[in-house]
């Protein structure tokens, strides 16, 4: 579940990073940390004013090149523009952080919003990973970091006050990110390209201030009332995991062996492949 790959080389030889969801939260903080390390940036988000302010500040403070790509990645034409940029030869890191939640009872949710959640959280992440990887493999260096959520592992927890939100589609999309990224990391394990799955829990950002139909208004990032882990700690963990070659980064997990136990449990379930029918089903219709 982990490997000593190309993390240190990627971070210590700055190139250009494409950062989605860059106007707030994990994407915003990641851009800040990368700029301080000397990385040039391509910042992607819906809020043009925020991107412009952030880009100007990072240029002034760190002397790096910062491109602004305002885009709603749930829209096909916008996604195609960003994918074209992610596939260029100067891109050595892609952070897929853009996401919306679409929280609410599934049977009552607006179908258009749910389609947008899937398009952004699943399709955009997949397309941008696919756009960037061929060049990275050809050049022999690079990294893709895909941001999931611990809600991807909350399937048997019913929504409750103070507990998990009503999240069937959001949790499902993050489950896709978990499975896709883990399998992709295994596929590329013998290459110089590093793929990281970042699984934060509740993080102190503005993510819960909107379901995602429209971005949070204003030019300054905010923090939702629920609080959570400081976003700087989440990004610190991810960068440390890149340096160590750790493929699955759970910033608040004290016991890394829990990830290995998950893999063991999955292996036990997979033993049913091709097996005889389980006894408890033999008396069914």
Active site residues: 170
- Work out the number of other CB atoms within 10 angstroms of the CB of residue 48: 13
CA distance 249 to 203: 14
- Work out the number of other CB atoms within 10 angstroms of the CB of residue 70: 17
**Token output for 48:** 């043009």
* Contact in structure between 123 and 75 (CB atoms under 8 Å): no
Separation in Å, CA 281 to CA 251, 270, 277 = 41, 18, 7
Region for residue 162 given its phi and psi (left: phi exceeds 0; alpha: psi -120 to 50; beta: otherwise): left
The torsion angles phi and psi of 198, rounded to 5 degrees, stand at -105, 120
CA distance 27 to 270: 35
CA distance 136 to 93: 9
- Work out the number of other CB atoms within 10 angstroms of the CB of residue 229: 16
Q: Outline where DSSP puts E strands in the chain.
A: 16-20, 40-45, 66-70, 91-96, 142-147, 193-198, 203-204, 229-230, 248-249
């Amino acid at each position: 579940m982990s490997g000593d790959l190309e993390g240190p080389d990627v971070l210590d030889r700055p190139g250009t990073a494409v950062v989605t969801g860059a106007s707030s939260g994990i994407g915003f903080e990641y851009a800040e940390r990368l700029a301080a390390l000397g990385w040039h940036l391509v910042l992607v988000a819906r809020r043009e004013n925020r991107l412009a302010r952030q880009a100007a500040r990072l240029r002034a403070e760190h002397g790096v090149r910062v491109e602004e790509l305002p885009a709603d990645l749930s829209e096909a034409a916008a996604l195609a523009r960003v994918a074209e940029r992610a596939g260029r030869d100067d891109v050595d890191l892609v952070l897929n952080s853009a996401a919306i939640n679409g929280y609410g009872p599934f049977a009552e949710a607006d179908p258009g919003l749910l389609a947008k959640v899937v398009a952004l959280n699943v399709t955009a992440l997949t397309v941008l990973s696919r756009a960037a990887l061929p060049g990275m493999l050809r050049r022999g260096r690079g990294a893709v970091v895909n941001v999931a959520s611990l809600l991807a592992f909350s399937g048997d927890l019913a929504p409750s006050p103070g507990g998990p939100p009503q999240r069937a589609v959001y949790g499902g999309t993050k489950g896709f990110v978990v499975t896709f990224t883990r399998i992709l990391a295994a596929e590329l394990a013998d290459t110089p390209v590093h793929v990281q799955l970042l699984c934060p829990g509740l993080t102190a950002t503005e993510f819960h201030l909107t379901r995602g139909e429209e971005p949070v208004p204003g030019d300054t990032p905010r923090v939702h009332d629920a609080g959570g882990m400081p976003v700087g700690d989440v990004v610190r963990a991810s960068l440390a995991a890149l340096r160590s070659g750790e493929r699955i980064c759970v910033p608040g997990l004290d016991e890394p062996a829990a990830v290995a136990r998950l893999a063991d449990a999955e292996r036990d379930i997979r033993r049913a492949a091709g097996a005889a029918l389980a006894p408890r089903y033999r008396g069914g219709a």
